[in-house]
């Protein structure tokens, strides 16, 4: 028997999932809440569902400044961040990235986070 807890697929969970799953703008929980507040959903519910989706591997978190943003693209990728408007752009990782990984004795690399910072076309 599996010890994995099954989550009910509630109306609120579906609302949160639908509000983020096809986005590429890396919204904050507050932005998702603002989009959904007319449905009567509470901000704590939004945070709880986003957190559970991260735990379940449906979303990733992106730490940007002092904010946690949510990313539905869970495959390995990099980001480019505009230093002026804070836009976050998803970028494909180079196929030879593994050869650049350092060999550190007694250390296992499990993940990589790669971010380039610059100025987007809209801010130039």
58 lies in some domain: yes
The whole-number average pLDDT for the span 55-64 is 93
6 lies in some domain: no
| Residue 4: predicted pLDDT | 54
Q: How far is CA 97 from CA 33, 75, 108, in A?
A: 36, 14, 16
Mean pLDDT of all residues belonging to the chain: 90
What single string gives the DSSP state of each residue in 55-114? HTTS-EEEEETTEEEEES--SSEEEEEETTT--EEEEEPPTTGGGGS---TT--------
* Percentage of residues of the chain with pLDDT beyond 70: 94
Per-residue model confidence as pLDDT tens digits over 98-118: 788 888 999 998 888 889 999
Give the residue, 65 or 48, on which the prediction is more confident.
Answer: 48
Q: Residue 97's pLDDT band (boundaries 50, 70, 90)?
A: confident
Looking at the DSSP assignment, which residues form a beta bridge with residue 70? 61
1 lies in some domain: no
91 lies in some domain: yes
CATH code for the domain of 37: 1.10.10.10
Q: Residue 2's pLDDT band (boundaries 50, 70, 90)?
A: very low
| Residue 110: predicted pLDDT | 84
Identify the domain containing residue 105 by its residue range. Answer: 77-118
Q: Are residues 65 and 86 in the same domain?
A: no
- Cα separation, 118 vs 3, in Å, equals 45
Question: Residue 7 above 80 pLDDT?
Answer: no
């Amino acid at each position: 028997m599996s010890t994995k807890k099954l989550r009910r697929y509630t109306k609120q969970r579906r609302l949160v999932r639908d509000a983020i799953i096809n986005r590429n703008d890396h919204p904050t929980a507050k932005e998702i809440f603002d989009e959904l507040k007319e449905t009567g959903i509470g901000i704590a519910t939004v945070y709880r569902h986003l957190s559970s989706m991260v735990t379940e591997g449906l979303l990733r978190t992106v730490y940007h400044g002092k904010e946690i943003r949510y990313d539905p693209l869970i495959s390995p990728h990099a980001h480019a961040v505009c230093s002026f408007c804070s836009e976050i752009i998803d970028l494909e990782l180079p196929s030879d990235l593994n050869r650049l990984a350092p060999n550190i004795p007694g250390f296992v690399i499990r993940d990589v986070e790669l971010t380039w910072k610059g100025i987007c076309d809209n801010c130039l």
